Amino acid sequence: MQKSKQEIREAEAKEISVSMKRLVTGYRSLLEAAIESEGLTLAQLRMLNALQEQPETSAADLARTCYITPQSMQAVVTRAEREGWITRSPSPTNRRVLTASLTAKGRKVYERGMELWSEIARQTWDGAKLSELRTLNELLGAAVDRLQPRLDALHGKSASKRKTA
């Protein structure tokens, strides 16, 4: 019996999901191993990236942006402050809220982490044609756009459309 177009489409979508899971898992494992040698965790690199893009951010907003719990982000922020990667000061709009910003040392750590991330990206996509990369970017971007309303509802709209490492 011949499969319908819908059944074929669903099988292809499932295979794409499996391949994406393998890609993301492998990519993450390589990135974590690379940045661990620099004394960094993935959560710390995401936080540094978020602060690079949006200085003077509260720990609560960082948690939403990085998709981790506020308690976990508090531990990340505390360590980053102890390491001298960030400074914290009262928010100009709400003195009870502390906001974080990168220090020169934090920018250097961030830049090194991003170099390692970029190297893994180069290795991952080496050999792919530019047109293939553009097509893949368009397809993945459209898929994210379709999921975004559900992600916003799940994580809060302030995390919407932010790019993190």
Q: Is 61 in contact with 100 (CB distance < 8 Å)? A: no
From the candidate CATH numbers 1.10.10.10, 3.40.50.12280, 1.10.490.10, 3.40.140.80, the one assigned to the domain spanning 40-159 = 1.10.10.10
At residue 105 the predicted structure's pLDDT band, cuts being 50, 70 and 90, is very high
Over the stretch 44-103, which tens digit does the pLDDT of each residue have? 999 999 999 999 999 999 999 998 999 999 999 999 999 999 999 998 888 889 999 999
Mention every residue, 6+ apart, whose C-beta is less than 8 A from residue 90.
96, 97, 98, 99
Q: Decide if 48 contacts 115 (C-beta within 8 A).
A: no
Mean of pLDDT values over 112-135? 97
Question: Which whole number is the average pLDDT over 126-137?
Answer: 97
**pLDDT of 26-39, one tens digit each?**
999 999 999 999 99
Percent of the chain scoring above 70 in pLDDT: 93
CA distance 83 to 101: 13
For the beta carbon of residue 3, count every other beta carbon within 10 angstroms: 10
With cut-offs at 50, 70 and 90, classify the pLDDT of residue 152: confident
Using pLDDT thresholds of 50, 70 and 90, give the confidence band for residue 164. low
Domain boundaries, the chain: 40-159
Minimum mean pLDDT range among 13-17, 99-103, 143-147, 152-156: 152-156
